[in-house]
Copies of this chain bind each other. A is one copy, B any other.
Amino acid sequence: MKKIMNNPENVVDEMLEGLLLAHSNKLKSIRKDNRSLIRVDAPVKDKVGIVTGGGSGHLPLFLGYVGKGMLDGVAVGDIFQSPSSQQMLDVIRAVNSGKGVLNLFGNYGGDVMNFDMASELADMEGIQVESVVSTDDVASMPKGQEEKRRGVAGMFYMYKLAGAKAETGASLEEVKRIAEKANKSIRTMGVALSPCTLPAVGRPTFHIEEGKMEIGMGIHGEPGVKTGELESADSIAETLVNSILADMPVSAGNDVSVLINGLGATPLEELYIVYRKVHKLLEEKGIHVYSRYIGEFATSLEMVGLSVSILKLDDELQELLDAPFDTPFFSQN
């Protein structure tokens, strides 16, 4: 895999420099190393601050979701590496308007440990801090052990819903309740057809044989839960939808939102081919697709593959999902 870069060691720094040159009207850096970024208007008065953080290589995750109606700040790690607790703490401090801060992040060892430490330090400074960890990947752990699952692309919905709630001026407790409810209502499963290459390593992170695919892939370049035959688009859609529905309480008459997420190198055309089948499968079961997001929301560099996320809606979540947002990467009127 050939890459467009300068020195591999500078990939994240140069990406961040480009990002800040491009979006200085929406984002600002609060550290010399640019690893802590916040909304230009943060702290937003009378609003709970929402913070995320995680490794690089997943654009638009994580920093693409900082903006009005979504998140207030982000700590940025190296490729697939957790940012430091100090970088997180700097973001927490900078977005706190006095109404408290909610950390939302994926369930990965380094991120959990560093956010725990940052929260403790912030608490000692008198900042009210809560955390909700995203655990939407059904393939990563069996039913009954939901809290041990990884966080993948469905995190988008948690950001969106909690972000919309925070914009209403709700309390930290209320915004946290929405984030928890969102996480409980989201399931994701994906497949990877070929791996990605870390810029500093120069060779693929694992190998997938011709004619095979990994089922239940992670988003950090790790292999899937199991290897299977490469199936047709319709068959992949069926596997993913059936696994998700077997794991969540959605039934005929329910409204859902669907996210089809490309992992990096999968053409948008293929995402629509999969959406076609996902839509039909759900409608056949009497489940109504209220809205959908199709594109790249959480990538792993140039990995080939996709994931499907389903969010179960009720009136409260539906209203929050429809609320406007505006980030450098996405907007919704």
Which residues of A approach B to under 8 Å, CB–CB? Answer: 1-6, 11-12, 14-19, 21-22, 56-57, 59-60, 191, 193-194, 210, 213, 230, 232-234, 236, 264-270, 272-277, 279-280, 292, 294-296, 299, 301-302, 304-306, 326, 329, 331-333
Task: Check A273/B333 contact, CB under 8 A, given A59-B267, A265-B265, A267-B302.
Answer: no
Alpha-carbon distance A269/B194, docked complex (angstroms): 19
Please determine whether A275 and B5 come into contact, CB atoms closer than 8 angstroms.
no
Report the nearest B residue to A296, measured CB to CB: B268
Asked if A59 meets B4 with Cβ closer than 8 Å, knowing A14-B233, A21-B276, A292-B22, the reply is no
**A304 vs B275: C-alpha distance in the bound complex, in angstroms?**
24
List, in ascending order, chain B residues with CB within 8 A of A296's CB. Answer: 268
- In the complex formed, the residue of B with least CB distance to A283 is B21
- Which B residues are in CB contact (< 8 Å) with A5? 232-233, 270, 273
Asked if A269 and B2 make an inter-chain contact with CB atoms under 8 angstroms apart, the answer reads no
B273:A15 contact, CB within 8 angstroms: yes
Q: Which residues of B contact A270 (CB under 8 A)?
A: 3-5, 15
Q: Complex Cα distance A311/B59, Å? A: 26
Q: Is the interface of A mostly helix, strand, loop or mixed?
A: mixed
13 pairs, A vs B, C-beta closer than 8 Å? A1-B304, A2-B194, A2-B213, A5-B273, A6-B232, A6-B273, A18-B273, A18-B275, A18-B276, A18-B277, A22-B279, A331-B332, A333-B333
The answer to whether residues A233 and B59 also contact, given A18-B276, A272-B18, A301-B267 and a CB cut-off of 8 A, is no
Q: Are A15 and B269 in contact (CB under 8 A)?
A: yes
Q: A270-B3, A270-B5, A302-B267 are in contact. Are A21 and B275 (CB under 8 A)?
A: yes
Chain B residues near A194 (CB, 8 Å)?
A: 1-2
Are the C-beta atoms of A268 and B233 separated by less than 8 Å? no
Q: Which of B17, B295, B333 contacts A276 (CB 8 A)?
A: B17
Could you tell me the distance between the alpha carbons of A305 and B59 in the complex, rounded to whole angstroms? Answer: 17
Measured CB to CB, the closest approach of chain B to A213, in angstroms, equals: 7
B233→A6 contact, CB < 8 A: yes
Q: Which of B14, B233, B266, B331 has a CB less than 8 Å from the CB of A333?
A: B331
In the complex with contacts A265-B302, A268-B299, A4-B331 CB distance below 8 A: no
> In whole Å, how far is A232's beta carbon from the nearest beta carbon of chain B?
5
Residues of B within 8 A of A11 (CB): 269, 273
Q: Are B326 and A18 interface neighbours, CB within 8 A? A: no
- Name the distance in Å between A207's Cβ and chain B's nearest Cβ: 13
List residues of chain B with CB within 8 A of the CB of A213.
Answer: 2
Contacts of A22 in B (CB 8 A): 272, 275, 279, 292, 294
Q: Which residue of B lies closest to A272 (CB)?
A: B18
Expressed in whole angstroms, the minimum distance between the Cβ of A80 and any Cβ of chain B is 12
Q: How far is the CA of A326 from the CA of B331 in the complex (A)?
A: 10
